[in-house]
């Protein structure tokens, strides 16, 4: 019983704890036994434990196979081996919070963004991340989850801040940044208290080299953020930055005051 209790205490710190509650309940149930009639219990305990181990092992193998089939399109080698290399939607694996796709996306794009300049990346590396990006964009439009929104913001931020010599990099970067503003705008709907993730996008959007369309997106996002929390330092700082470009002195003074409040 002490072992089972200790295991539960440790497992409860795991983010996938909810998916193994039933299994833990079963483990506790077979761990509890009355002290009387120990001879009779001992007679049946060995075969019971053997059968229980087989059942648990079979259930875990079945679950692993189910998860793999649900996410078979997240296998890079299988994707690249496909002659058509067509787009295949990836379903949210529900209980696991779509963590399989999030992990594949992160590993895929960081292989590019963290690659040293002297390493030459191959076309397949870009093709793989392009596919994952298109899946992420589809999920953003259809059924955005916090995990995908946050991961996409990190993805776009990484690509904005680097350059690569390969010709495929520019095309992939344009594809990723095309949905950056949309991902930033829907973050406030699902995770308004994670506004720090908007800093890379807003820094880019209010910069002089950003197109006018991005500045308009930034105004909308900052307006929503300010309405949600009038003391939000990120909203105050970037609203102040945008108002500094105004020709009216009063608005410039207000902009500086807002930026000081943000500090």
| pLDDT per position as a tens digit, 173-216 | 999 999 999 998 888 888 878 888 888 988 888 888 888 888 88
Q: Where are the chain's structural domains?
A: 2-70, 73-178, 191-263
Q: Residue 167: CB partners within 8 Å, gap ≥ 6?
A: none
pLDDT at residue 207, as a whole number: 85
pTM of the model: 0.67
Low-confidence ranges of the chain (pLDDT < 50): 95
CA separation, residue 262 to residues 10, 175, 230, 233, 241 (Å): 40, 33, 11, 4, 11
pLDDT at residue 216, as a whole number: 87
Q: Residue 202: CB partners within 8 Å, gap ≥ 6?
A: 184, 218, 221, 222, 234, 238
Name the DSSP class of 143: S
Could you give the CA distance from residue 245 to residue 229 in angstroms, rounded to a whole number? 24
Q: Which two tokens stand for residue 203?
A: 């820094």
Could you tell me if 259 and 240 are in contact, meaning their C-beta atoms sit under 8 angstroms apart? Answer: yes
pLDDT at residue 105, as a whole number: 87
Q: Residue 178: CB partners within 8 Å, gap ≥ 6?
A: none
pLDDT at residue 177, as a whole number: 92
Alpha helices, DSSP H only, in 21-73?
21-31, 38-70
pLDDT at residue 135, as a whole number: 87
């Amino acid at each position: 019983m002490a072992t089972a209790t200790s295991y539960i205490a440790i497992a409860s710190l795991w983010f996938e704890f909810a998916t193994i509650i039933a299994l833990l309940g079963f483990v506790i149930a077979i761990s509890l036994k009355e002290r009387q009639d120990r001879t009779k219990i001992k007679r049946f305990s060995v075969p019971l434990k053997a059968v229980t181990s087989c059942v648990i092992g079979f259930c875990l193998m079945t679950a692993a196979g189910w998860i793999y089939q649900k996410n078979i399109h997240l296998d890079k080698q299988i994707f690249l081996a496909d002659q058509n290399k067509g787009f295949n939607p990836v379903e949210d694996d529900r209980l696991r919070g779509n963590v399989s796709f999030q992990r594949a996306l992160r590993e895929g794009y960081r292989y590019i963004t963290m690659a040293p300049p002297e390493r030459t990346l191959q076309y397949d590396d870009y093709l793989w991340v392009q596919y994952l990006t298109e899946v992420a964009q589809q999920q953003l439009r259809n059924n955005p989850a916090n995990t995908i929104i946050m991961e996409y913001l990190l993805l776009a931020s990484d690509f904005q801040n680097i350059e690569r010599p390969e010709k495929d990099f520019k095309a992939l970067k344009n594809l990723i940044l095309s949905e950056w503003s949309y991902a930033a705008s829907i973050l406030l709907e699902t995770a308004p208290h994670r506004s720090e993730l908007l800093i890379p996008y807003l820094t880019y959007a209010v910069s002089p080299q950003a197109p006018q369309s991005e500045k308009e997106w930034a105004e909308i996002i900052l307006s929503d953020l300010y309405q949600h929390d009038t003391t939000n330092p990120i909203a105050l700082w970037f609203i102040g930055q945008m108002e500094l470009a105004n020709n009216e002195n009063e608005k410039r003074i207000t902009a500086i005051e807002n930026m000081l409040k943000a500090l």
